[in-house]
Amino acid sequence: DGGITQSPKYLFRKEGQNVTLSCEQNLNHDAMYWYRQDPGQGLRLIYYSQIVNDFQKGDIAEGYSVSREKKESFPLTVTSAQKNPTAFYLCASSPPGYGYGYTFGSGTRLTVV
Amino acid sequence: GQNIDQPTEMTATEGAIVQINCTYQTSGFNGLFWYQQHAGEAPTFLSYNVLDGLEEKGRFSSFLSRSKGYSYLLLKELQMKDSASYLCAVRDNTDKLIFGTGTRLQVFP
């Protein structure tokens, strides 16, 4: 079955550590996105990539980094520069064309301990 | 700036009808989407509107008025499993989805 896989489902990070969240899709979608969700704040865009080897900052990119070396993969690194990283992180993908929405992964809940 | 407004919370009774409103101001418009999200889970697609009017899909319907920057999601014959957050999102002129903060719906027996 085609879909998006995010791992791990739960992640604990010590202050000062970098962590990488995995996102893999086998839908052959060109575009991929990372969102952060905090209670009462909806989904906020961190980074997005519309083609391989290219990505753009979203609204809240500070303290995060990404890479897009393969069409299927769009990992997100939460660096120690991100001051408040505890949140629910969602990865999504979409095919080209305006009539299509996003397909979301199941999310990673990151907690700083 | 870009802005999408929805009520924060709504409550309704099982078997009833509820309407969740969404107003938007965005840089361009290439369609409006509604998603359902249960707590701790990923959003799932409900509906898509790009032209004015009503789109019906089973118990769920969605309406769009582009001139008013307004949409609503109508849920009929409410069931307990419909308790969830409902996210309104607009695809802007850069092809990204801009999300509202979501409306948390609680259905009571």
Encode pLDDT of B18-49 as tens digits.
999 999 998 889 999 999 999 888 899 999 99
For the cut 80, the answer to whether the pLDDT of residue A32 exceeds it is yes
Helices (H) and strands (E) in chain B, counts: 0, 11
Q: Which residues contact B55 (CB under 8 A, 6 or more apart)?
A: B47, B48, B49, B61, B62, B63, B64
Taking CA atoms, what residue in B is nearest to A49? B96
Q: What is the pLDDT of residues A41-77, one digit of tens each?
A: 789 999 999 999 999 999 999 999 999 999 999 999 9
AA identity, residue B39: A
A2 touches chain B (CB under 8 A): no
Judged by CB atoms closer than 8 Å, whether chains meet at B96 and A104 is answered as no
Query: Phi/psi at B80 (nearest 5 deg)?
Result: -60, -35
Q: How far apart are CA A49 and CA A31, in angstroms?
A: 5
Query: What mean pLDDT comes out for the span B71-78?
Result: 98
